[in-house]
Structure formats: C-alpha cells, structure tokens
Chains A and B, each alone.
Chain A
Amino acid sequence: NAGVTQTPKFRVLKTGQSMTLLCAQDMNHEYMYWYRQDPGMGLRLIHYSVGEGTTAKGEVPDGYNVSRLKKQNFLLGLESAAPSQTSVYFCASRTSRLAEYNEQFFGPGTRLTVL
C-alpha cells in the first residue's frame, strides 16, 4: 500500500497563477484533510471532506477551493496564487470507523513557493 501520496512535491508559481494539488489515498478512508504548515505555527486546516462529494471549510479556507469527486482523491486548488500562500501543504486521511487510535495518516507534503 502506498498510503497517502501527494503530487507535485515542489512547485514555484508567480503571483496570480493557478494550480491544483492532488492527494490520493489507498486505505479506503472516508475523511480527508488539507493542511498548511508554516514556520513557528501548528498545522492549520484549510478544508476537509467527510465523504465523496462533500467538503467543508477549515480554519484558513480563503483563497483555496477543494473537490472530492472520488473517495480516494482530494484536490486542492489555488485560483490566483498570492505570496502569502507560500507554505508546505499536507494532505491527510482517516477512517470514520471507531478505532483505538483514530489517527490521521499524512502524505509527504508539497512545498509551494509563490513569487
């Protein structure tokens, strides 16, 4: 099993450009999350999804959109990139079943720089 994978690993954008980050998981998890991680700050939730076709806003959703057309994929879009969106983006997934640990499984991250 690959677990959670993210594409691309690195990207440099110019202000105003758009892009889509792809997250895929092969664990049949219902819940999926997009976070950003900035120096000195905790992980901040951008958007999340509790199932195919459903999405919800997290703590810092402005400037981002998401889609979950298939259970295994969760896409994060930046319509018009800004330098403030320079960050490392992590995708995570979790089962909805009651489990002993209920942990989130993370992808390797995408490092995005907006010039």
Chain B
Amino acid sequence: EDQVTQSPEALRLQEGESSSLNCSYTVSGLRGLFWYRQDPGKGPEFLFTLYSAGEEKEKERLKATLTKKESFLHITAPKPEDSATYLCAVQASKSNYQLIWGAGTKLIIKP
C-alpha cells in the first residue's frame, strides 16, 4: 500500500537552531515528491518538487533532499516566521492525478 509518514509530529526550536524534518514514503514507482507549507487557517502553499534520488532544492533557509526511501527538509538558522506546518506528498507513477499526503510536521520557532 502506498504510504507517506512524516516525523516528528511537532518540533520546537529556538531561533537560529538548525534541524531537519523527515518524510518517508512507500510507493510503487515515484513520479514526484512535493513539500508544502501551511500556515494556521490557510491552504497549503507549494515549496518544492523533487523527482529523483540525489536531487536537492533550496529556497532561502530551506533545503529539500531526496533518497529512494525518504526526503528531508533541512531548516538552517530558522526564524519565527518559519513557524508553520510542513506537509509532504508523493505522486506514484501509476497515478496521473492524485497525491498521497503525510500528516505533516508542526514547526514552532521560538524567538
């Protein structure tokens, strides 16, 4: 069964304290892995797409990496405005339309 698991469920960091969020997946053929950010009371906002193992994408303090079993979202020297829930989703090769979503990691950055 295709599945996406994110860990930890919640992460509290001090401002400037770097860390990583994990997204492990089981899917029969990966077409793409997506990272989204969701602020309270809002819809998810797209961050990155990764397509193949070894690929990396960066945006400001965020860097996403991909292996054959998992993806990491590395956060370097985070600021309070990075606080949000980060969602991971995968698209299987057998599906043209649907994504399989993880439950998300709630990140809190304390000043």
Contacts and interface: CB of A to CB of B under 8 A. Distances in A.
Majority secondary structure of chain A interface residues (helix, strand, loop or mixed): loop
Interface residues of A, number: 24
A44 B43 CA distance: 14
Interface residues of B, number: 23
A58 interface: yes
Given A90-B43, A104-B46, A108-B43, A42 B87 contact: yes
Contact of B103 (A42, A48, A90, A103): A42
Contacts, number: 52
Nearest to A6: B43
B4 interface: yes
B46 A40 contact: no
Contacts of B44: 43, 90, 106
A90 B49 CA distance: 20
B103 A41 contact: yes
5 contacts: A31-B97, A42-B4, A42-B87, A101-B49, A102-B49
**A-B residue pairs, 5 tightest by C-beta:** A106-B43, A42-B101, A103-B46, A43-B101, A101-B49
Interface of B: 4, 9, 32, 34, 41-46, 49, 87, 89, 91, 96-104
Given A103-B49, A109-B43, 10 more contacts: A48-B98, A50-B97, A102-B49, A103-B34, A103-B46, A106-B43, A106-B44, A108-B41, A108-B42, A109-B41
